[in-house]
Structure 1
Amino acid sequence: MAQVRQVQVTFDCAEPERVARFWCEVLGYVVPPPPAGFESWDAFVESLPPERRDSAFAVVDPTGAGPRLFFQKVPEGKVVKNRVHLDVRVGTGLVGDERVAALEAECARLTALGGQKVRLMLADGFDESCLVMQDVEGNEFCLD
């Protein structure tokens, strides 16, 4: 039988800290303490060779329940739709207009943080309504 393993979700991006801090606001995640021996993350970053500075950033669920999110700088920009995306569960248990209102309210909050609304997909008799968005670098995610 396979052993259950923890996972980390990794985002390729141009500005790791900026994207990470957006997702902290979306999910209630936090920046973990700096590595042992460093008083702050700034002190840690200063210890790195110049080419490694600002190349990555990570955030964690303060409760320990959710996966660590890791953001790594890559040279290429985003070109196509994500093959994997996060569904942010804000409408669980809600249906109809009440669900749409919850999705739109969270969309307004995230838009103020730099996210972008793509489209609202209304319930079709099989799937409930969801709202497709993009983060600050264009990565798709859904409010579900």
Structure 2
Amino acid sequence: MATIKEFQVTFDCAEPERVARFWCEVLGYVLPEPPAGFATWEDYNATLPPEDRGAWAAAEDPAGKGPRLYFQRVPEGKAVKNRVHLDVRAGTGLVGEERLAVLQAERERLEALGAVCVQVLVADGVNESCIPMLDVEGNEFCLD
């Protein structure tokens, strides 16, 4: 039996396109092309029943290496801490003050996009610095 090497990460949310655009900015991803025969996603959505318009969105790695992110509208709001979250690897290979400076700069960029910093965890001799954050709908992720 072959092992699966590709996967998609799915987010439940209230505003799929808004959350997809946020993650496109965070990760350098892009929205996929609209379906054949449509110039824009707005044109496509206009053909759907009102309750289905904007029900989902996706974000894709333009290099084709990272997982596809899928955002689906759900009626209920976020109620508890995520059981799974993304670690945005902004400080890979860096340590100490250099790592913290890079993470802080990325934190400021993401806050300008609507993210919220939960706290800054500074290196303690065992763990390196990281910054837990919330996306535009309150989903947890870490700058790592």
Q: Bigger shift: 38-47 or 129-138?
A: 38-47
Q: Does 1:120 align with 2:127?
A: no
What's the % identity of the aligned pairs? 67
Give the CA deviation at 1:36: 1.3
Q: Does 1:43 align with 2:38?
A: no
Alignment partner, residue 99 of structure 1: 99
TM-superposition CA deviations, 1:48-104 (whole Å, max 9, x none):
111100111111000000111110011111111101000000101111111111111
Q: Bigger shift: 29-38 or 2-11?
A: 2-11
Alignment partner, residue 14 of structure 1: 14
Mapped partners of 1:2, 1:129: distance in 2: 37
Give the secondary-structure state (helix, strand or coil) at the position aligned to 2:119.
strand
**1:79-94 pair list within 5 angstroms:** 79-94=79-94
Give the CA deviation at 1:2: 3.6
Q: TM-score, normalised by structure 1?
A: 0.96
Mapped partners of 1:112, 1:83: distance in 2: 26
Q: Bigger shift: 52-61 or 124-133?
A: 124-133
Aligned length: 144
TM-superposition CA deviations, 1:16-44 (whole Å, max 9, x none):
11111010100000011111122221111
Q: TM-score, normalised by structure 2?
A: 0.96
Alignment partner, residue 132 of structure 2: 132
Mapped partners of 1:97, 1:5: distance in 2: 35
Alignment partner, residue 4 of structure 2: 4
Q: What 5-or-longer segments of structure 2 have no aligned partner?
A: none
